[in-house]
Amino acid sequence: MSPLRYILEKEFKQIFRNPAILKVIFVMPVIQLIALPMAADYEIKNINIAVIDRDHSTVSNKLVQKITASNYFKLVEYNSDFEASMELIENDKADLILEIPKNFEANLYQEKATKLFLAVNAINGVKANLGAAYMTNIVQSYNADFRIQTITPGRFNELPIFEISSTNWYNPKMNYKIFMVPGILVLLITIVGMNLSSINIVREKEMGTIEQINVTPIKKTHFILGKLLPFWIIGLVVISVGFLIAWLVYGIIPLGSYFTLYLFAAIYLLVILGIGLLISTYSENQQQAMLVTFFLMMIFVLMGGLYTSIDSMPDWARWFTRLNPISYFIEVMRMVVLKGSGIVDTGKQFLIMIGYAIVINTWAVLSYQKRA
């Protein structure tokens, strides 16, 4: 019988005897998959706004009503004192100040033009950007309403107007969760796979058991495969649990086939586990391995296209993301889940992953030396 069988048997025994590992493998991903997409939402709500109304007219009143009715803004202050509002920004109680000048209504009716002042607290860049954009949108739509109400329409439009109407393909309601959940699932199996594999060989080094293994006639390839396969299987189980949660909790069923996803996941896991093993063979103790894994993970995650769009990165960074396995899986995951892409459509990603898996794992086997 193949020595590989004995190593696998031993690895599985060790994994299932470690209750902490089982919890980390199964409970943590479930909790994260349920909690993260609910909490880590791109849409920003509850932007605190302070309105300085120096006009106190019908028009200004309606504008403020429209703003607060939008659900995005929370009116924290309504006064006519700029200093007081500024203080709110300084104390982080308000994110935006909207100042409606005196004679706002009068100017609008008589001169057909008036101004609004918007001050944004830009400490939280994302919130500031979005808040200002939402506000501009609301004011513009208010402006359009106002014009319709006040201008007697001519026979033709006096000025040509472009109106853009858009449809959102693949995710018509722009459901944020359909977009995030598959991505987070990718991150989870990456974290589980890379961490488990990276501390595994190193653990044998720390315990000294590797010495005992090294004096046996066992082949390097068998040893590495014995380390890789259990986590590969666990990775596939974790992703299955993830799909189940995506369906039960979020109602997400891939448009494409599960087969494509599993096939890609199988190759992807080989890459991730290979990277873990590589870290493991180069590290001397678990602490080193964990730190390196952590740094790599952070780069992979932040540059993986889940939290920031790869297309908007500078050129050098885009080149870099081509080395990032996470970015391929997230891409494939979204293509299959949202667009229903098949193996042919994702052929490029498949080939790259296969190449990646071969390079990394060959390197891992070569770098593991049974002798110094």
- Applying CB under 8 A, the residues found at the interface with another protein are 1, 3, 6, 9-10, 13-14, 17-18, 207-218, 370-372
Complex with another protein: residue 13 or 147, whichever CB lies closer: 13
Under 8 Å CB-to-CB from 184, ≥6 apart: which residues?
32, 33, 36, 37, 306
Under 8 Å CB-to-CB from 80, ≥6 apart: which residues?
52, 53, 54, 56
Complex with another protein: residue 143 or 209, whichever CB lies closer: 209
Q: What's the distance, CA 203 to chain centroid?
A: 31
Question: Shortest approach of another protein to residue 238 CB, angstroms?
Answer: 22
Question: Shortest approach of another protein to residue 241 CB, angstroms?
Answer: 25
Question: Shortest approach of another protein to residue 370 CB, angstroms?
Answer: 8
Complex with another protein: residue 110 or 212, whichever CB lies closer: 212
Q: Degrees (nearest 5) of the Cα angle 97, 102, 104?
A: 85
Question: Shortest approach of another protein to residue 216 CB, angstroms?
Answer: 4
Strand pairing class (117-120; 96-100): antiparallel
Residues in the chain, total:
372
Complex with another protein: residue 19 or 314, whichever CB lies closer: 19
Token readout for 267 is: 């190759």
Complex with another protein: residue 3 or 340, whichever CB lies closer: 3
DSSP label at residue 17: T
Complex with another protein: residue 144 or 215, whichever CB lies closer: 215
Under 8 Å CB-to-CB from 320, ≥6 apart: which residues?
303
Question: Shortest approach of another protein to residue 237 CB, angstroms?
Answer: 21
Break the chain down into helix, strand, coil percent, rounded to 5.
65, 5, 30
Complex with another protein: residue 113 or 372, whichever CB lies closer: 372
Question: Shortest approach of another protein to residue 233 CB, angstroms?
Answer: 19
Contact, 50 vs 77, CB < 8 A? yes
Complex with another protein: residue 66 or 222, whichever CB lies closer: 222
Contact, 181 vs 37, CB < 8 A? yes
Instruction: Provide the strand spans (E) within the chain.
Output: 47-53, 73-79, 96-100, 117-120
Question: Shortest approach of another protein to residue 350 CB, angstroms?
Answer: 36
Complex with another protein: residue 1 or 159, whichever CB lies closer: 1
Question: Shortest approach of another protein to residue 282 CB, angstroms?
Answer: 18
- Main-chain phi, psi angles of 155, to 5 degrees: -70, -40
Question: Shortest approach of another protein to residue 362 CB, angstroms?
Answer: 20
Q: Which of 233, 256, 249, 243 is nearest to 337 (CA)?
A: 256
Separation between Cα atoms, residue 49 and residue 190, nearest integer Å:
40
Complex with another protein: residue 13 or 74, whichever CB lies closer: 13
Cα distances (Å, whole numbers) of residue 87 to 51, 97, 119, 130? 13, 11, 13, 22
Under 8 Å CB-to-CB from 123, ≥6 apart: which residues?
92
Question: Shortest approach of another protein to residue 202 CB, angstroms?
Answer: 14
Separation between Cα atoms, residue 236 and residue 230, nearest integer Å:
10
